[in-house]
Amino acid sequence: MSIEIKAVTKDNRAAMLALHVNESQTSYIESTEQCLKEADECHYYQPVGLYYEGNLVGFAMYGWFPEYDEENEEGRVWLDRFFIDERFQGQGLGSIMLQALIQHLAELYKCKRIYLSIFENNTHALRLYHKFGFKYNGELDFNGEKVMLKEL
């Protein structure tokens, strides 16, 4: 099984922009276009393509944010965006890619925790995150989404 997490470059940017979720999921996550715009505006964001067996199957955006200093943390690693393209959903790739991302973030940032936020009614994503040990921590983000964390 070949899994790659690749930065967005001029060579793959058009393919990234072509990724999209199912129509029923659009209220839960921003488009890749919006994500890339945000990454251009905030250097903490790292947008990446998720490749399985050489095919671009999904998108993620993560980063280390130093603003958080609660609980004596020196910052937080956020898995801010994560989705599998509509054409590749229902094949188990969400689990495969989330596992790869967790491992990637743990190695890249040498972190003890990974944070994300989610709309509580996003039941498919919520089930996936629970499966991987993410738990609510009682916080809400600036959009009113519930914050989850995974202890590593």
Burial class, 52, CB count within 10 angstroms (exposed 0-12 / middle 13-18 / buried 19+):
buried
Q: How many helices (H) and strands (E) does the chain have?
A: 4, 7
Indicate the average pLDDT of the chain.
Answer: 94
Please state the rounded mean pLDDT for residues 57-65: 97
Q: What is the pTM of this model?
A: 0.93
The b-or-e profile of 58-97 (16+ CB within 10 A means b, else e) is: bbbbbbbeeeeeeeeeeebbbbbbbbbbeebbeeebbebb
* Residue of 52, 62, 115, 129 marked active site: 129
Told to judge if 62 belongs to the known catalytic residues of this protein, a careful annotator would answer no
Angstrom distance (rounded) from CA 138 to CA 116? 12
pLDDT confidence of residue 71: 60
Structure tokens at 14: 């058009």
pLDDT confidence of residue 27: 82
Classify domain 3-151 at the CATH class level. Answer: alpha beta
* pLDDT exceeds cutoff 70 at 72: no
Burial class, 144, CB count within 10 angstroms (exposed 0-12 / middle 13-18 / buried 19+):
exposed
